[in-house]
Amino acid sequence: MPELPEVETTRRILEPHLLGQKIGRIKHQDPHKYRRTDLAQGRTVVSAGRRGKFLIFGLDKNLELIVHLGMTGGFRFEPASHLRVTLELPKQRLYFTDARRFGKWWVVDAGDYSGLPLLAKMGPEPLSSDFTPEKLQASLAKTRRTIKDILLMQEAVAGVGNIYVDESLWQARIHPLRRARSLKPGEIARLHHAIRDVIGRALEKGGSTLSDNSYQQPSGEPGYFQHEHQVYQRKGLPCLRCGTPIERIAVGQRGSHFCPRCQVNK
C-alpha cells in the first residue's frame, strides 16, 4: 500500500500540473468510490496538500478533492491498465489507475472530514515539529496494543504503514510485538529518530516499488528505496546488522519482518 513517501512523491510531481488549473470532466463509473466528483468540475485547483496517506487538493468555492490511493492506486500521465478515473484539465489529462479497486475519491467542504474518520483523528506528521518524543510517549502510554499495531493506526503518527513501521522498528531495535506502553524513554527516543530518518530517506528515493510494481510515480518511474530496505520482505536473509536470519510473523493480520537477535521481545 502506498505510504507517506509514495503519496508525498506523487503530490510533489502532480502539484505543478494541477495548481491554477480548472478541472474539466472527471470521468468514472463508480459513484460509490468516487463521491460527489461532479462538484469539482469547473473548479480551479488552488492548493495541493497531503495529510498522512491522503492527497488533499484545495479547490475554489471552499471545496476539497481528497484522494486515498488504497492498496494499488496511483496517477499516470498516460493511459494505463486498470484505469478507473480520468481527470480532464485544460491542456492535459491525468489518469487514476487501481488494480485492486480500494482507492477512493471524495469532494467535501474544505476541512469537513466528518465522513472520513481516519483523516479527522490522524496524528502528527512524522517530519513536522509537532511530532516529538514526548508526544509519541504520551500516545503509547494510553494503549495496551503492540507497538506495531499502534503505529499502523495513524493516531500516534501519520502516514507510516507496514513497510516503514518494520524498517523503523528494526532501526530502533524494538520487537513488533512489544507492548507500546512498555517502551522506556530511551527506546521511544530511538524510535522517534528512526521513524523520521526512515521516512526522510524514503522520500529522497521516491518511495518503495515492490515486486508487484503496484506503486509507480506518475511518469511510470519506480521508487528506489526498496534497494535500501534493511528488513522488509527479507525473510530468511541475514540481518544486515548481526547476520541472524530475518523472521516474518503476523501482527494484527499484517506480515511483520524483524531480526530475532536485534529486536528481542523483552
Distances (CA, A) of 192 to 2, 136, 234: 21, 7, 23
Selected catalytic residue, list 2, 124, 126, 176: 2
- Out of 22, 101, 173, 254, the active site residue is 254
Q: What is residue 7's three-state secondary structure?
A: helix
Q: Which of 3, 64, 125, 167 is catalytic?
A: 3
Give the cell for residue 198.
526512515
Answer yes or no: are the C-beta atoms of 27 and 34 closer than 8 Å.
no
The catalytic position among 50, 53, 76, 104 is: 53
Q: Is 3 a catalytic residue?
A: yes
Residue 254 bears catalytic tag: yes
> How do beta strands 45-51 and 247-251 pair?
unpaired
Is 134 in a helix, a strand, or coil?
A: helix
Taking the C-alpha atoms of residue 150 and residue 138, their distance in angstroms, rounded to an integer, is 12
Give the number of other Cβ atoms within 10 Å of residue 19's Cβ: 14
Give dist(CA 81, CA 214) in Å, integer: 11
* Residue 193 grid coordinates: 529518530
Active site residues: 2-3, 53, 254
